[in-house]
């Protein structure tokens, strides 16, 4: 099974649509959908084919790649800092609480990078790989296509401490969620509600669900916003003092499809984690009408999601000569120093 070239951004119609959408979206002027047209024209096909191959054995990978992009962009912008391993200069973001033992898909990104370095050496950034992979993952799961602004470069450091504080927690209230989003520049209710819709597919570990099933906010009772039938089901999947790493579908109805069922679940008290259900169950919240809208009109959800994804993808990108194009997404490129010995011979080390 191959990734259809008809989905590629190389289609002229997608380019025209991309330009129109970019003009309307306050995008960073240096990011554009045609960035790799001349230097790596098959970038979408290379990344897409790898995702298609991975989906055959790992139905979670599409949601995992989208989450990697989200967790990357919320920490000092979309710069692939989340992909860096530990070094003598910094601690990896992979060790931060929101990512440790839960963020996944790094090996798949490695596959993409190896293939792209073979086809287009030192050309496609790891930050853009994450951006493209998230878009294709959504598309292959039944979601929308959108023209992806490209041209990001990669950071030369990771931000462990910031990853521990900037990423929204599954236990956040609506007020805390809004602050976390606004702190990175996503200050519209539609940004929060639409991007939360990324939980329409994928899984969460029981450790992020259990507190609201048995001892919500220290009450020794379940979260009152939980649908009683759903509570029984979740307690069966996530027993008290059970294995916290057991996986539960975010959406029990269409677990691997990118659709608007997530919002219908919220309306029925069937949001898996607290921070999701807060969007609908917080009295008087301005997010409630958006949950209702996206539940009843999937096209409106897709439109809002595209807009919010482009806005998120434009958070503090490194462009031009900033950062670098990593040759291996896990490590910063080796630094070359030019030295001259006593005999006047110049060499690099």
Residues tagged active-site: 71
Q: Where does residue 338 rank: exposed (0-12), middle (13-18), buried (19+ CB within 10 A)?
A: exposed
Structure tokens belonging to residue 236: 């069966």
Please report, for the chain, how many H helices and E strands are present, in that order: 14, 4
Cα–Cα distance, 237 to 278 (Å, whole number): 22
CA distance 136 to 301: 17
SS3 content of the chain, % helix, strand, coil (to 5): 50, 5, 45
**Residue 96 tokens, joined:** 């931060």
292: exposed, middle or buried (Cβ count in 10 Å: 0-12, 13-18, 19+)? middle
């Amino acid at each position: 099974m191959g990734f259809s070239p008809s989905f590629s951004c190389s289609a002229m119609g997608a380019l025209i649509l991309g330009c129109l959408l970019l003009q309307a979206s306050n995008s960073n002027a240096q990011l554009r959908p045609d960035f790799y047209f001349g230097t790596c024209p098959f970038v979408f096909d290379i990344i897409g084919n790898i995702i298609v191959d991975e989906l055959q054995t790992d139905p979670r990978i599409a949601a995992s790649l989208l989450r990697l992009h989200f967790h990357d962009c919320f920490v000092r912008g979309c710069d692939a800092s989340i992909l860096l391993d530990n070094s003598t200069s910094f601690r990896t973001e992979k060790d931060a609480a929101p990512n440790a033992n839960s963020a996944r898909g790094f090996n798949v990104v490695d596959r993409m990078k190896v293939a792209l370095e073979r086809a287009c050496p030192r050309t496609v950034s790891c930050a853009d790989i994450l951006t493209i992979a998230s878009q294709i993952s959504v598309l292959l799961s039944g979601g929308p296509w959108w023209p992806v602004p490209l041209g990001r470069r990669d950071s030369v450091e990771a931000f462990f401490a910031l990853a521990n504080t900037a990423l929204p927690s599954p236990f956040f209230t609506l007020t805390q969620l809004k602050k976390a989003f606004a702190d990175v520049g996503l200050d519209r209710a539609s940004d929060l509600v639409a991007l939360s819709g990324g939980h329409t597919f994928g899984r969460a570990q029981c450790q992020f669900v259990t507190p609201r099933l048995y001892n919500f906010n220290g009450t020794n009772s379940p979260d009152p916003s939980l649908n009683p039938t759903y509570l029984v089901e979740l307690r069966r999947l996530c027993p008290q003092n059970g294995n916290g790493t057991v996986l539960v579908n975010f959406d029990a109805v269409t677990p691997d499809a990118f659709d608007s069922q997530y919002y219908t679940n919220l309306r029925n008290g069937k949001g898996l984690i607290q921070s999701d259900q807060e969007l609908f169950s917080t009295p008087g919240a301005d997010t409630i009408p958006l949950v209702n809208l996206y539940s009843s009109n999937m096209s409106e959800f897709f439109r809002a999601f595209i807009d919010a994804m482009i806005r998120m993808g434009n958070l503090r990108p490194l462009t031009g000569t900033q950062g670098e194009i990593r040759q291996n997404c896990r490590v910063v490129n080796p630094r070359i120093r030019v030295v001259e010995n006593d005999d006047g011979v110049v060499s690099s080390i």
